[in-house]
Every structure is written in structure tokens, then in C-alpha cells.
């Protein structure tokens, strides 16, 4: 059973555009939802994260939107740049991470110059 579903699998966006990646979860016990960025050959880097008590969080060009009733959350990358080209993973966990992270399958993002 896949507990975190991520879409799309791949995404091509023009430079300066908005990149949008969506995730949906099934386990209502999840209470922490991070996004990670991973470049080839590197470990995942924490990008931004949200808890269910807020509906939106913004850090620079990155925004998470969270819909608790729909059990969905999304990442928006504003003014996308070629350096943003990477694989993005959404994830979820509960109990301060005591159970580890459950990841979505990932989105391969390409920003075209």
C-alpha cells in the first residue's frame, strides 16, 4: 500500500515559470510533511516542511500548500530556474519522525532555459 502518492512523475517548465508538484497521503496519523530536493549522486536536502495546523508556508521561492480535509499537499516553485532542475520528493511522518519518513515516488523536474 503506497501511503504517499506523488504526481507528476516528470515535469518540464520554462525558466521563470511556476513548477507545481502534488502529493496525497492516506494515513491520518501523519503530522509532518517535508519536501526534499535531490541532485544526482547526492543525498536528499530538506527544502521546506509543513505541519497540519497551517494551510500554507512560504520560504523564498518555495511554497507548500496543505489541505488537511483532502489529505493533499503541494509544492510550488516560483520563478523556476535551471538550477532547480532536480528530483523532488514529498514525504510524511508522524510522532516527531519516530517512525521515519515515508516518501512519494519522486518528480523529475527539468527547467528549460
Partner 1 sequence: DTEVTQTPKHLVMGMTNKKSLKCEQHMGHRAMYWYKQKAKKPPELMFVYSYEKLSINESVPSRFSPECPNSSLLNLHLHALQPEDSALYLCASSLQSSGSYEQYFGPGTRLTVT
Contacts with partner 1 by CB under 8 A lie at 32, 34, 36, 41-46, 49, 51, 89, 93, 96-106
25 or 104, CB closer to partner 1? 104
Please, what is the minimum distance in Å from the beta carbon of residue 90 to partner 1?
9
46 or 54, CB closer to partner 1? 46
Please, what is the minimum distance in Å from the beta carbon of residue 3 to partner 1?
12
47 or 77, CB closer to partner 1? 47
Q: How many CB atoms lie within 10 A of CB 75?
A: 25
Please, what is the minimum distance in Å from the beta carbon of residue 79 to partner 1?
25
Please, what is the minimum distance in Å from the beta carbon of residue 108 to partner 1?
8
Q: Are 89 and 35 in contact (CB under 8 A)?
A: yes
Please report, for residues 6, 27, 38, 48, 88, the alpha-carbon distance to residue 45 in angstroms, rounded to integers and kept in the order given.
18, 24, 6, 9, 9
Neighbour-count burial of 5, counting CB atoms closer than 10 A to its CB (0-12 exposed, 13-18 middle, 19+ buried) = middle
76 or 105, CB closer to partner 1? 105
Phi, psi (degrees; rounded to nearest 5) at 50: -140, 150
Amino acid at each position: 500500500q503506497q501511503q504517499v502518492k506523488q504526481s507528476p512523475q516528470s515535469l518540464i517548465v520554462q525558466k521563470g515559470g511556476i513548477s507545481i508538484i502534488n502529493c496525497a497521503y492516506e494515513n491520518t496519523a501523519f503530522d509532518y510533511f517535508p519536501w526534499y530536493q535531490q541532485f544526482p549522486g547526492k543525498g536528499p536536502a530538506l527544502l521546506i516542511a509543513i505541519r497540519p495546523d497551517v494551510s500554507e508556508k512560504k520560504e523564498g521561492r518555495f511554497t507548500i500548500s496543505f489541505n488537511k480535509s483532502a489529505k493533499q499537499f503541494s509544492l510550488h516553485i516560483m520563478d523556476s530556474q535551471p538550477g532547480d532542475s532536480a528530483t523532488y520528493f514529498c514525504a510524511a511522518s508522524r510522532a516527531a519522525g519516530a517512525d521515519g519518513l515515508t516518501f512519494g515516488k519522486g518528480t523529475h523536474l527539468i527547467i528549460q532555459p
